[in-house]
Each structure stands twice: as C-alpha cells, then as structure tokens.
Amino acid sequence: MLFPEYRARRLRRSDVMRRMVRETHLRVDDLIYPMFSAFGTNIKQEIPSMPGIYQQSIEHIVAEAKEVYELGIPAVILFGIPEEKDPMGKDAYSDSGIIQETIRAIKKEVPGLMVITDVCMCEYTDHGHCGVIKDGDVDNDETLKLLAAEALSHAQAGADIVAPSDMMDGRIAALRTILDENDFSHIPIMSYSVKYASAYYGPFRDAADSTPQFGDRRSYQMDPANRVEAFREAALDVDECADFLMVKPALAYLDILRDIKERFDLPLVAYNVSGEYSMVKAAAEKGWIDYDRVMMETLIGMKRAGADLIITYHAKDAAQLLKG
C-alpha cells in the first residue's frame, strides 16, 4: 500500500468513521472502584493527596456503593482502616473487623454489586508491613496463616472475590486450600500477581494509613527494573489456581501487562494506582491538561496493552462519560 493510492486518513475523516474502525473499547463493565472503609460513624474525610476519594464510615460507604451500582460499575474493592492496629493485625481476620462489617452492609443494601476484598496485613498492623515481623523482616510462612484466616473471614462475611496483595510466596495455594476446606470453593482469587515496589503508591498509603514504620517493602514486592521475574510470579499463581492475574501499577508497566496477556489465558487486571490518579488530578486542577480526555486515554492505554479489567479511582468519572 503506497501513497497516493492508499491514504490512511480516509478512515479518520469523521467521528462516525473513527468509531466504526476503533480497535480498543473501554466499557463500564471493565471498571472496579476502590473504597476505603473507616471505623466509626459519620466519617467522610477527603484524602488530601487523592481529590474526590474519601475515608468513609460504613453508612457513607453503602451510600457510595449504591451510586457506583447505579452507574453500572460492576464491582468495588474494599480497603479497611480499623479502630486499632497491633503487631499481628488482628482486625484483618476478626469476624467483627471493619471490612467484614462493611461487606455485610454492602451485600445487604446493594446485593447486585460485586464485592472484592483486599487481603493483606499492612492496613491493620501497627508497623505497616504486610505480615508477621521476625528479625526485622516479614516472616513469609507465618504470614500465610494470617492471610488465609483473613480471606476465610471475608468469604464468611459475604465477599464475592478475595484479592491477596501481600506478595508472600505461596499465598494463592494457602488461600485456595482454606477456602476449599470451608465450602468456599466457588470464591475466586484475584491475585496481585505482579506487584512492584513502586513510588506510585504514595497517596494510597495516606488513604489506608499503611506507611511502613521502618524499612520498606522491597524484600517482598518486585524490583521495578525486572521483566522476566513477572513471568515467574504469574506462572506460580496460575499453578496455585489463581482465577485472575493482576499487574500493579499499570501506567509505567504497560509492557508487563502486554507480556502477561500474551503468556497466560486468565482474566488480566490492571491496577491504575493512587499516584497515577493523583498526577492526573493535580495537572487538571492546574489547568495543564484536559482531565476527561487524559483520563480516558490513560484507561484506553491499559485496555490496549491487554487489561480485561481496570481497578481505578477514576471509575465513577469514566462511567459517567461512557454512559453519555
């Protein structure tokens, strides 16, 4: 095909033509909205580094869950801010924990909304790490026991999907075993399979009050420079019977999304993380970018790279645009 006989611009001449030949589509059904549930009542506190996102007590969480459902967004993912934290993160696996109570409230009032729960310890431990501390580092195998108990408690409370984000070795097998042994073989596991030790998480740590009190998480989260390691991590989770794979963050790791999509046939989730969200919001507030266009271009980029689903704080804004 050579110019002038072939002219690529023929297929770009009008909005209708562009829609007809569009290769990648973003749908409301592709979106998952994160929510931060805080212990107490009458709490709705905006997170300074994440405009439009709130720490909320359960009654406000339920109200927003109804709004999310009415927009057609199929699922939320829950993160908890407990009343008290301790070295073992006991609220994470308590029957009366903040997330367990939030699950029940949402499923009672918005039964058609899919509830996904983050399974990790960092929001519940007073040291801010993702598990049991031994000799200054997270003890992998002891942590698996707590993660399994947490996932089981979420399932018992009514969660539809559990999503372990801790990056402990063997956690998918540990969760699958305890769920199956307790008649929850129908509960899928959405694994944070490829989770990098990223600076893009900064605003989330404000939102979830989960900043480590010492050290960092690089002994269990992945080195941002590594690509091949991502294949090993994802393959381990597939072998341990994960139902979804995830890449986190998304924007700086679109190559990894494409790699994982090409190698594995499970549904693939991209987590459009807090720092990615906050950069777009901040630039828009400065008047430097068109918020709607940049937001949608960013999400389309994740879909084009291979994501089937996107966890994003933009979900409500995107849904409103998609619904027209």
**Residue 120 tokens, joined:** 């990790």
Active site residue 66: no
DSSP single-letter state for residue 11: G
Predicted pLDDT at 208: 65
The residue-averaged pLDDT of 280-284 equals 98
Predicted pLDDT at 148: 97
Flag whether 215 is in a domain: yes
Backbone angles phi, psi at 52, to 5 degrees: 90, -5
Flag whether 262 is in a domain: yes
Residue 301 CA to residue 165 CA, distance in Å, equals: 23
State which amino acid sits at residue 247: V
The residue-averaged pLDDT of 51-78 equals 98
The residue-averaged pLDDT of 290-319 equals 98
Predicted pLDDT at 205: 74
Residue 68 CA to residue 62 CA, distance in Å, equals: 10
Q: Please confirm whether the linkage preceding 249 is cis (ω < 30° from 0).
A: yes
Flag whether 183 is in a domain: yes
CATH number at residue 129: 3.20.20.70
User: Which has the closest alpha carbon to 34: 292, 207, 221?
Assistant: 207
Residue holding tokens 């993912």?
A: 77
Asked if the model's pLDDT at residue 255 lies above 70, the reply is yes
Whether residue 266 contacts residue 291, with contact meaning beta carbons closer than 8 Å, is answered with: no
Options 248, 261, 281, 303, the catalytic residue: 248
The residue-averaged pLDDT of 247-271 equals 98
Q: What is the 3-state secondary structure (H, E, C) of 186-233?
A: CCCEEEEEEEECCHHHHHHHHHHCCCCCCCCCCCCCECCCCCHHHHHH
Asked if the model's pLDDT at residue 210 lies above 80, the reply is no
Flag whether 5 is in a domain: no
| Rounded-to-10 torsion of CA 260, 178, 96, 169 | -40
Asked if the model's pLDDT at residue 259 lies above 90, the reply is yes
Flag whether 10 is in a domain: no
* Per-residue pLDDT band at 48 (split at 50, 70, 90): very high
**Residue 46 tokens, joined:** 């905006």
User: Which has the closest alpha carbon to 301: 26, 104, 88, 21?
Assistant: 26
Asked if the model's pLDDT at residue 173 lies above 90, the reply is yes
Q: 244-248 and 190-195: which strand pairing?
A: parallel
pLDDT more than 90, % of the chain: 88
Q: Domain range spanning residue 118?
A: 24-323
Predicted pLDDT at 12: 96
Residue 77 CA to residue 246 CA, distance in Å, equals: 13
Active site residue 248: yes
Flag whether 110 is in a domain: yes
Backbone angles phi, psi at 106, to 5 degrees: -65, -45
Q: Please confirm whether the linkage preceding 4 is cis (ω < 30° from 0).
A: yes
The residue-averaged pLDDT of 62-66 equals 98
Predicted pLDDT at 141: 95
Question: Which regions of the chain does DSSP assign to beta strands (E)?
Answer: 31-38, 44-47, 50-56, 75-81, 114-119, 133-134, 137-138, 161-164, 190-195, 244-248, 268-272, 309-312
Flag whether 242 is in a domain: yes
Mean pLDDT of all residues belonging to the chain: 95
Predicted pLDDT at 215: 66
Lowest mean pLDDT among 9-18, 50-59, 124-133, 300-309: 124-133
Predicted pLDDT at 285: 97
Options 107, 134, 195, 261, the catalytic residue: 195
What domain count does the chain have?
1
Flag whether 1 is in a domain: no
pLDDT tens per residue, range 90-137: 999 999 999 999 999 999 999 999 999 999 999 999 888 888 899 888
Whether residue 189 contacts residue 164, with contact meaning beta carbons closer than 8 Å, is answered with: yes
